[in-house]
Amino acid sequence: MLFGRKKIEGIAKRTLNMIMESAKDSHPREFAAGLREIDGVISELVLVPGTISGNRSALLRLHNLPIDYSLVGVVHSHPSPNVRPSRNDINLFGKFGRVHVIVGFPYNEDSWRAYDWKGDEIELEVID
């Protein structure tokens, strides 16, 4: 997938596993973090200071993110199996980043989707 001049090849399997474990640990509250791309692969989570996790939403304080052009988007969990973005999610997508991941309960390899900044689903390859 091509975003601007950088090509995002996919997401590292270990990073996706870390996302799932973080979502499980936060359940039933939402988990949220930034996504960092390294050499075309989403490879790291960036915890955002001041993030508030609740049962219905997570509030990311985007102004607390570092100025870092390797940050390509955000990830957050839904405590239900629904991984479709809400209106609020799409508003967030449009404010920051190009790639966004939503993971849903039960937080496994089949319960996540990736979206672009408009909220359209995109394909992200899981890379070992």
| Stronger pLDDT, 57 or 44, i.e. the higher one | 44
The residue extents of the domains of the chain are 2-127
Of the pLDDT bands very low, low, confident and very high (cuts 50, 70, 90), residue 3 is very low
**Torsions phi, psi of 93, nearest 5?**
-55, -40
Per-residue pLDDT reduced to its tens digit, 23-40? 999 999 888 899 999 999
Q: Which fold has domain 2-127?
A: Cytidine Deaminase; domain 2 (3.40.140)
Stretch 46-53: mean pLDDT: 65
Positions marked catalytic:
30
pTM over 0.95? The answer is: no
Stretch 54-82: mean pLDDT: 76
pLDDT score at 61: 57
pLDDT score at 62: 61
